[in-house]
Amino acid sequence: MAETDDRVRPEWGVGVFALRLNGELKIIFDDLRRTGTDFPPSWSMRAFVTNGRLDAERFLSHELTDEEYTRIGMMVASRLAAVCQTHEPRNE
C-alpha cells in the first residue's frame, strides 16, 4: 500500500544534485532550510557539504558497481543523519 503525502515537511533537509562536467557526474549535497510554511515548500541552501564524482555515462546507463551505489547511499544517509542530529528537535 502506497503512503499518501501528508504535506508535512521538516524545517531542514538535504538536496542532492547531479551536474555533468567533462564526462563526469558531480554529485552535490546541500543542506537546505525550508522558507515559509506554504506547500509545496520553498527551500534555501544553507551549506554545501560534500560531493562525489562518477563516470557520467556509466551512471546514466545504470552500470555502476555495487560499491559505487553503496557509496552514494551512504553519502545520502550520512547527510540526513547529520541534519537530523544538528537541526531537528527530538520528539521522543
The domain spans of the chain are: 12-84
Q: What is the pLDDT of residues 13-26, one digit of tens each?
A: 999 999 999 999 99
CB atoms within 10 A of CB 36: 8
CA distance 61 to 68: 14
Average pLDDT, the chain: 87
* pLDDT at site 62: 96
Which residues of 1-92 form beta strands (DSSP E)?
12-21, 24-35, 42-55
Mean pLDDT computed over 4-18? 87
Residue 78, burial from CB neighbour count under 10 angstroms (0-12, 13-18, 19+):
middle
Q: What is the pLDDT of residues 28-52, one digit of tens each?
A: 989 999 998 888 889 998 888 777 8
Residue 48 and residue 30 in contact, taking contact as beta carbons nearer than 8 Å:
yes
Mean pLDDT computed over 69-90? 86
Residue 25 and residue 54 in contact, taking contact as beta carbons nearer than 8 Å:
yes
69 has pLDDT over 90: yes
